[in-house]
Chains A and B, each alone.
Chain A
Amino acid sequence: MSQFFVSILIILLGGFSAIVLAQHLKSAKFITVFLVCAGCFLGLMDAVTKLVQSGTYVASYKYLNVFSLDFQMDGISAFFLLVIFAISLIASFYSYHYMGHEKNAVKTGANYFFFSILISAMALVVTASNTITLMLSWEIMSLSSFFLVIYNHHLAENRRAGYLYFIFSHVGAMFIFAAFAMMYSYTGNFEFGPMDAIPDAAKILIFIFSFIGFGSKAGVFPFHIWLPHAHPAAPSHISAVMSGVMIKTGIYGIVRMYMLLDFHTPIFGTILIVAGAVSGILGVVYALGQKDLKRLLAYSSVENIGIILIGLGVGMIGVSSGNMPMAVLGFTGGFLHIFNHSIFKSLLFMGAGMVLHKTGTCSIDSLGGLLKRMKITGTAVIIGSLAISGLPLFNGFVGEFLIYMGGFKGIALENSTFIMGIIAIISLAVIGGLALACFTKVIGVVFQGEPRTKAAEDADETGGTMLISMSVLAGACMLIGIFPQLIIQLPIKATVALGLKFDPILFDPILQITKNISFAAMIFAALFLLVTGIRFFLYKGKTITGSGTWGCGFTQPTVKMQYTGSSYASFILDFFSPVAPLEEEHVNITGRFPAKTHYRSQVNDIAELYMNRVIVNPVLFFFDKLRWIQHGDIHLYIGYILLAIILLLFFI
């Protein structure tokens, strides 16, 4: 594993040099970006080779002579490392020009410092092979990303997002601690070893605890509340890494626990499918209701985590019901969607970053007409949107196709599996339709039409590394969409590494499916060329004139008359109003000469609404009564600690 650790060291070195050389901003940025990219590239190569060779590699270090820091790289780790390093590589390349306008040298340096720590910590999380190492890396990951979220700490809103994230990641960590403590109480060691000693009921409880803990990092509904606040607050390349990669470490945790517990009950699959369906549908409904582009993308991550969970859940149900073809399709589809989502989500965040960079705003309803001014960004975002809507010719379709096939395999089985299959399929169908609505809103309102503000009108696109990063990702979306067989081995290797002893013959249908998808995509492309040719022929020698848009008889249109994102989404949100209550505020127009009025609307997240009502307010009330304990006298505080330790000694 030495190559892995070398790459981590190079990344960290890059981060340190950003701090050390902060006074020479330009050169510091160049060195840092170069080192981080080089480290990520090295790690990426290592992960790919390890994944293809599908062996298991271990490394162990003693820490303080008490705890041993154990690392292990198997197929699952290598697959997640691949995603982490690939996206971090492109994101740090993107950051070179994105951070270019930054005047504050120390702030930029600190940002790169924590960014490098975040990348390393994510890599360590997915390679940790005992509970101590995992929790240590997990906490480093949470803390470093916390500092990245509060990058623009002068805004109160961002500080609030940071605190929210801080609390959520620690409450989540508490659940993971609880799960690990239960494991320890049965096995008596910290190793990720065999878990035969644990009774079945305890295994279920451990899984539920770790699902809550890891799920809160992944952004599973209803533990996602921090996500739409924290992700948009960070600089866009960080948002890309957080949304595209970091939340996947939560998924990794769930998969790892599933592997460790090695207990095949339908309960696990049911939990994942139901949680996935709820996260998926509600995530995209809230995304549709957002007015801020980056918040919309953050909610869409909740949706995609839902799709991934549905895929993994289908896999688990397949295993527990003994239907291995279903299991293989579900797991491979889920893993493939992890890979695909990291590509198109980071692409979309980078596009949003470019918009924010050039117009100074991410408010959807104050943009418009950007496609004419930002051709490459616009095209890249359109490709990303097509991919995230799961449409053929783009990569999102392939993963969803496999999950659908897995779900349909469940339809043929007995009742409980049948119902899970129905939930998986119907929710995927609804998510697909809603995602299409959500991302046509993004394209239609942000990139098409006429600019609604001066800022949108004056936008242009510069920043070579930003454009190259987006083009690379957009190209990957199309390439994988048309030729999925190029990368299908990666999720297959990850599925094999689950250690469920799948018969290699089970993977043949998947290879066949990728060939079919590729074939169908090429038919579509051929017909597209044919129709384009016919159109060209029909327009030969014709007069083509330009004119204003037909205003249905009205001759004085203004840009304000365009359909806004809010009105575009209102039809659908109305349908979902029980779960997405709309909050409106406006002054009614009265009299013949009405005064100026305003309108403000906001789609509320029910999880957030109820969290305030059910958890935050009672907890505040309770702790308000305990305020007398906190009086500021340090002597008594030390007394508390002593008392607590003495009391605990009775229990050991």
Chain B
Amino acid sequence: MIKSIILWLLAILLAPFFSAIILKIKAFFGGKKGPPLLINYYTLIKLFKKGSVYSTSTTLLFKLGPIVSLCSAITVLMFLPIAGCQPIFSFNGDVLFVLYALGLGRFFTITAAMDTASPFEGMGAAREAYFPIICEAATFMILIFFYRLTGELQLSAYFTGSHTLGLWQSAGAPLVFIVFAFFIILLTENSRVPVDDPATHLELTMIHEVMVLDHSGPDLGLIEMGSFCKLFFYSTLVSRLILPFGSNITGLSFGLYIIGLVIVYVAIGVTESAIARYRMDKVPQFVLTSFALAFFATIITMEFIR
């Protein structure tokens, strides 16, 4: 329990660091030196030191947006098995709670954006409401796959100790599909290229960034923190899937986990450097690919694994 809490705190503290890896990789591909690896901490400290400017159109919901989105992200981390260890809390069906808690965060992000009366933020909000619908269907398809294999409905049954390795042993081939499906969901849910470009300059083409245009100071810092944690959550899941090996030596399994995380963040960076953002109407097709992959993986288990 103490160990889990320490890991939870570490996860929150280290999430901004890992996100900087993506920036470094993108800079490498661009032939630049890139910002320091601690850049996100500098940004957060800068934001936390500032005051705020609020639009006169806004209400209390505008201030609730950052709080609830960060809160949902760190709640979700409490149910996440970090480095194959037991999460702080776990119960039968916690996956459903985790997914819906992220939905709660999204609800408040959207309402905070709609609060500003800005057409740009409305546009971003409409997209934020749209793409996760397909993502959610894909995520539940993956859950069906996991349930079919393990008969359990909690994250710790899939991602702790030797459970992940067990998944590979019982259904290795379809699990490759699942890894790719998960990666697509990760890109979509965290507004990365090719779904959304966090570094773009034109408001019309943004999704997540445009929704937080009017947030400033500590509020913006909380939002940034929330998105680092959310990315960390999804990356941990993928990292456990690609490096499922556990070890009795704490240091070793922890090291493997870190390597897995770095691989995932590097993969995000490479994806962002290698391909451009899709046109908005192509995005659903891209996201639907993850659903199709998960669906096929499940169908395969239906016939071959009993």
- Contact for B89 among A440, A523, A572, CB less than 8 A: A523
Instruction: Establish whether residues A520 and B97, one from each chain, have CB atoms under 8 Å apart when the complex forms.
Output: yes
Please provide the chain B residues from 32 to 81 with a CB less than 8 Å away from any CB of chain A in the complex.
48, 50-59, 61, 63, 66-68, 70-72, 74-75, 78
Q: Is A581 an interface residue (CB 8 A)?
A: no
- Give the nearest-CB partner of A371 in chain B: B59
Residues of B within 8 A of A448 (CB): 59, 61, 111, 114-115, 117
CB distance from A603 to the nearest CB of B (A): 15
Q: Given A545-B51, A567-B126: A550 and B97 within 8 A (CB)? A: no
Instruction: Establish whether residues A433 and B136, one from each chain, have CB atoms under 8 Å apart when the complex forms.
Output: yes
Instruction: Establish whether residues B67 and A544, one from each chain, have CB atoms under 8 Å apart when the complex forms.
Output: no
Q: Is B167 an interface residue (CB 8 A)?
A: no
- Contact for A516 among B92, B103, B132, B148, CB less than 8 A: B92
A422-B141, A542-B50 known; 11 new pairs, CB 8 Å cut-off, are A405-B93, A426-B141, A436-B106, A437-B129, A448-B111, A449-B117, A523-B75, A542-B51, A542-B218, A562-B118, A567-B126
Residues of A within 8 A of B222 (CB): 531, 535
Please provide the chain A residues from 528 to 560 with a CB less than 8 Å away from any CB of chain B in the complex.
528, 530-532, 535, 538-539, 542-552, 557, 559
Q: Is A393 an interface residue (CB 8 A)?
A: yes
CB distance from B112 to the nearest CB of A (A): 9
Q: Is B277 an interface residue (CB 8 A)?
A: no
Residues of A within 8 A of B104 (CB): 386, 391-393, 524
- Give the nearest-CB partner of A563 in chain B: B122
Chain A interfacial residues counted at CB < 8 A: 81
Q: Is B147 an interface residue (CB 8 A)?
A: yes
Residues of B within 8 A of A549 (CB): 55-58, 116-118, 214
Residues of B within 8 A of A544 (CB): 51-54
A-B contact pairs, 11 of them (CB 8 A): A389-B103, A426-B144, A429-B139, A449-B115, A513-B92, A538-B48, A545-B52, A562-B117, A563-B122, A568-B129, A572-B130
How many angstroms from the CA of A407 to the CA of B92 in the assembled complex?
Answer: 14
How many angstroms from the CA of A448 to the CA of B70 in the assembled complex?
Answer: 22
Q: Is B298 an interface residue (CB 8 A)?
A: yes
Q: Is A112 an interface residue (CB 8 A)?
A: no
One digit per residue, 1 when the CB lies within 8 angstroms of any chain A CB and 0 when it does not, for chain B 112-144 equals 011111111111011101101110110111011
- Contact for B122 among A404, A415, A516, A567, CB less than 8 A: A567
Q: Is B284 an interface residue (CB 8 A)?
A: yes
Residues of B within 8 A of A530 (CB): 71
- Give the nearest-CB partner of B123 in chain A: A563
Residues of A within 8 A of B171 (CB): none
Q: Given A432-B103, A448-B117, A523-B75: A418 and B302 within 8 A (CB)? A: yes
Q: Which residues of A contact B (CB under 8 A)?
A: 368-369, 371-372, 382, 386, 389-393, 397, 401, 404-405, 408, 411-412, 415, 418, 421-422, 425-426, 428-430, 432-434, 436-437, 440-441, 443-445, 448-450, 509, 512-513, 516-517, 519-520, 523-524, 527-528, 530-532, 535, 538-539, 542-552, 557, 559, 561-563, 567-572, 574-575
Instruction: Establish whether residues B93 and A513, one from each chain, have CB atoms under 8 Å apart when the complex forms.
Output: yes
Q: Which residues of B contact A (CB under 8 A)?
A: 48, 50-59, 61, 63, 66-68, 70-72, 74-75, 78, 89, 91-94, 96-97, 100-101, 103-104, 106-107, 110-111, 113-123, 125-127, 129-130, 132-134, 136-137, 139-141, 143-144, 147-148, 151, 153, 203, 213-214, 217-219, 221-222, 280-281, 284, 298, 302
Instruction: Establish whether residues A552 and B133, one from each chain, have CB atoms under 8 Å apart when the complex forms.
Output: no
Residues of B within 8 A of A509 (CB): 92
Instruction: Establish whether residues B139 and A535, one from each chain, have CB atoms under 8 Å apart when the complex forms.
Output: no
Instruction: Establish whether residues B91 and A548, one from each chain, have CB atoms under 8 Å apart when the complex forms.
Output: no
How many angstroms from the CA of A432 to the CA of B147 in the assembled complex?
Answer: 20
Residues of A within 8 A of B217 (CB): 542
- Give the nearest-CB partner of A575 in chain B: B284
Instruction: Establish whether residues A392 and B101, one from each chain, have CB atoms under 8 Å apart when the complex forms.
Output: yes
How many angstroms from the CA of A449 to the CA of B115 in the assembled complex?
Answer: 5
Instruction: Establish whether residues A542 and B52, one from each chain, have CB atoms under 8 Å apart when the complex forms.
Output: yes
How many angstroms from the CA of A513 to the CA of B91 in the assembled complex?
Answer: 9
Residues of A within 8 A of B103 (CB): 389, 391, 432-433, 436
How many angstroms from the CA of A448 to the CA of B62 in the assembled complex?
Answer: 10
Instruction: Establish whether residues B51 and A520, one from each chain, have CB atoms under 8 Å apart when the complex forms.
Output: no
The secondary structure that dominates the B interface is helix
Instruction: Establish whether residues B97 and A517, one from each chain, have CB atoms under 8 Å apart when the complex forms.
Output: yes
Instruction: Establish whether residues A437 and B133, one from each chain, have CB atoms under 8 Å apart when the complex forms.
Output: yes
Of the candidates B123, B130, B147, the one having the most CB atoms from chain A within 10 angstroms of its own CB is B130
Q: Given A405-B93, A429-B136, A434-B133: A550 and B114 within 8 A (CB)? A: no
Residues of A within 8 A of B61 (CB): 371, 382, 448
Instruction: Establish whether residues B55 and A548, one from each chain, have CB atoms under 8 Å apart when the complex forms.
Output: yes
How many angstroms from the CA of A346 to the CA of B122 in the assembled complex?
Answer: 28
Residues of A within 8 A of B116 (CB): 449, 549-550
How many angstroms from the CA of A572 to the CA of B280 in the assembled complex?
Answer: 12
Residues of A within 8 A of B302 (CB): 415, 418
CB distance from A363 to the nearest CB of B (A): 18
- Top 9 nearest A-B pairs (CB, nearest first) are A563-B122, A444-B114, A433-B133, A449-B117, A437-B129, A542-B51, A538-B218, A543-B51, A549-B55
Instruction: Establish whether residues A524 and B101, one from each chain, have CB atoms under 8 Å apart when the complex forms.
Output: yes
Instruction: Establish whether residues B93 and A550, one from each chain, have CB atoms under 8 Å apart when the complex forms.
Output: no
CB distance from B26 to the nearest CB of A (A): 25
Instruction: Establish whether residues B133 and A563, one from each chain, have CB atoms under 8 Å apart when the complex forms.
Output: no
Instruction: Establish whether residues A440 and B51, one from each chain, have CB atoms under 8 Å apart when the complex forms.
Output: no
Residues of B within 8 A of A425 (CB): 140, 143-144
- Give the nearest-CB partner of B203 in chain A: A552
Instruction: Establish whether residues B119 and A562, one from each chain, have CB atoms under 8 Å apart when the complex forms.
Output: yes
How many angstroms from the CA of A567 to the CA of B136 in the assembled complex?
Answer: 23
Q: Given A412-B147, A547-B53: A571 and B117 within 8 A (CB)? A: no
CB distance from A428 to the nearest CB of B (A): 8
Instruction: Establish whether residues A408 and B106, one from each chain, have CB atoms under 8 Å apart when the complex forms.
Output: no
How many angstroms from the CA of A578 to the CA of B98 in the assembled complex?
Answer: 33
Residues of B within 8 A of A443 (CB): 111, 114
Instruction: Establish whether residues B147 and A411, one from each chain, have CB atoms under 8 Å apart when the complex forms.
Output: yes
Residues of B within 8 A of A440 (CB): 107, 110-111, 114, 125, 129
How many angstroms from the CA of A411 to the CA of B139 in the assembled complex?
Answer: 15
Residues of A within 8 A of B56 (CB): 546-549
Residues of A within 8 A of B119 (CB): 561-563
Residues of A within 8 A of B125 (CB): 440, 444, 563, 568
- Give the nearest-CB partner of B60 in chain A: A371
Residues of A within 8 A of B55 (CB): 546-550
Instruction: Establish whether residues B100 and A397, one from each chain, have CB atoms under 8 Å apart when the complex forms.
Output: yes
Q: Given A415-B302, A443-B111, A444-B114: A523 and B78 within 8 A (CB)? A: yes
Of the candidates A404, A418, A421, A538, the one having the most CB atoms from chain B within 10 angstroms of its own CB is A538
Residues of A within 8 A of B120 (CB): 552
Instruction: Establish whether residues B75 and A516, one from each chain, have CB atoms under 8 Å apart when the complex forms.
Output: no
Residues of A within 8 A of B203 (CB): 552
Residues of B within 8 A of A547 (CB): 53-56
Instruction: Establish whether residues A532 and B67, one from each chain, have CB atoms under 8 Å apart when the complex forms.
Output: yes
Of the candidates B56, B61, B117, B132, the one having the most CB atoms from chain A within 10 angstroms of its own CB is B117
Q: Given A437-B133, A575-B284: A563 and B51 within 8 A (CB)? A: no
Instruction: Establish whether residues B213 and A527, one from each chain, have CB atoms under 8 Å apart when the complex forms.
Output: no
Residues of A within 8 A of B121 (CB): 563
How many angstroms from the CA of A408 to the CA of B269 in the assembled complex?
Answer: 36
Residues of A within 8 A of B51 (CB): 539, 542-545
How many angstroms from the CA of A557 to the CA of B57 in the assembled complex?
Answer: 12
How many angstroms from the CA of A548 to the CA of B53 in the assembled complex?
Answer: 9
How many angstroms from the CA of A492 to the CA of B136 in the assembled complex?
Answer: 29
How many angstroms from the CA of A432 to the CA of B100 in the assembled complex?
Answer: 9
Instruction: Establish whether residues A391 and B148, one from each chain, have CB atoms under 8 Å apart when the complex forms.
Output: no
How many angstroms from the CA of A470 to the CA of B61 in the assembled complex?
Answer: 19
Q: Given A430-B137, A543-B51: A412 and B151 within 8 A (CB)? A: yes
- Give the nearest-CB partner of A385 in chain B: B107
- Give the nearest-CB partner of A539 in chain B: B218
Of the candidates B58, B97, B143, the one having the most CB atoms from chain A within 10 angstroms of its own CB is B97
How many angstroms from the CA of A116 to the CA of B119 in the assembled complex?
Answer: 46
